[in-house]
Amino acid sequence: MRQKRIMTIQDLSCFGKCSLTVAHPIMSAMGLEVCPIPTAILSTHTAGFKDWTFRDLSADLPLIAAHWKSQGLVFDGISTGYLGSKEMIGMVSDYFRAFPEATKIVDPVFADNGKLYPAFDQEYAAGIAGLCGQADVIVPNLTEAAFMLGEEYVPAGYDEEHIHGLLRRLTALGCRTAVVTGVVYDPARQGAVAYDAVTGEYFQYFRENIDVSFHGTGDVFTSALAGAVILGKTMQQALTVAVDYTVDCILATMPDVRDHWYGVKFEACLPQLIRSL
Ligand code: PXL
């Protein structure tokens, strides 16, 4: 069988285990051919470090697409993460049109815990909501979902009806499937819930709720989910693979939580990820 091929468009934070430095190795380990498109190079990610360097590489995005098209390259998937500017959202939208054959997976990556990340505003959130409308699968957390829908963020104490309603409104942006992460119905369990607007089915998968926060776990989750979707797994299988892998990475990093706050030790858990496919 032909190897599945995915391009992943996000920044390269040289230190900090997020975006391309997790997406590329995770999806390669899953057996996909991964073609990274770095939107910018940063010395570190922006969550918890100071004075990071940032070199915008977005001018190369249209050139890379034009060259790939001239070579007749085709892709099974496109996954996107942290983009960094409104201009880049437009460029990614051009990629979506240029590669219509690809399944598009968009992780909004602009907010968490009720707040926008420092670089972003409401207009950026609206731009990402537009990009989500052109995707097949979107992977917001509850904060990003609320911003994109112009609704109040409900941090806790919600029920299944609330999450299912949120998912239905997210797919009304234009995508087929919405997945929300960080869902806690019972304080002892945390997981992800998905809705397929074509079949009307809901999917969910939960593991133990671990009371700790590491940076980059959203990127780890979306990488595993995107890899599983492009490999042809069902949404239920993809949720299971991605939640299990993310929780395993957190558990593997817990003994070192003080020194390793900037990201999870995803490398140690790659064998488990491969076995779960
Ligand atoms: O993990 C998301 C992410 C990716 N890239 C950069 C970031 C962040 C979150 O803060 O700063 C540069």
Q: For 170-219, write each residue's pLDDT tens digit.
A: 999 999 999 999 999 999 999 999 999 999 999 999 999 998 889 999 99
Q: What residue owns the CA closest to ligand 1's atom 3?
A: 82
What is the residue with the minimal CA distance to atom 12 of ligand 1?
45
pLDDT of residue 38: 97
Q: Please tell me the distance between residue 72's alpha carbon and the centre of ligand 1 in angstroms.
A: 32
CA atoms lying within 13 Å on the CB side of residue 81 = 29
CA of 250 to the centre of ligand 1 (A): 18
- Top pLDDT among 245 and 119 is at 245
Span from the CA of 249 to the centroid of ligand 1 (angstroms):
18
Q: State the Rg of the chain over Cα.
A: 17
39 lines ligand 1 (CB under 6 A): no
Ligand 1 within 6 A of CB of 139: no
3-state DSSP call for residue 276?
coil
For the CA atoms of 269, 270, 273, 274, the dihedral, rounded to the nearest 10 degrees, stands at -150
Q: Whole-prediction pTM value?
A: 0.98
Say whether pLDDT at 1 is over 80.
no
- Ligand 1 centre and the CA of 161: distance in Å? 31
Ligand 1 pocket, 109 CB below 6 A?
yes
End-to-end CA distance of the chain: 16
Q: What single string gives the DSSP state of each residue in 179-235?
A: EEEEE-SSTTEEEEEEEETTTTEEEEEEEE------TTHHHHHHHHHHHHHHTT--H
Band of residue 119 on the pLDDT scale cut at 50, 70, 90? confident
Cβ(82) to ligand 1 under 6 A?
A: yes
Residue 130 in tokens: 């537009």
DSSP state of 89: H
Q: Find residue 111's DSSP bridge partners.
A: 116
User: Is residue 219 in contact with ligand 1, taking CB distance under 6 Å?
Assistant: yes
CATH code for residues 5-276: 3.40.1190.20
Confidence of residue 236 (pLDDT cuts 50, 70, 90): very high
The pLDDT value recorded for residue 47 is: 87
Q: Rounded to 5 degrees, what are φ and ψ at 61?
A: -60, -50
pLDDT at 134 over 90: yes
Is residue 144 in contact with ligand 1, taking CB distance under 6 Å? no
pLDDT at 84: 84
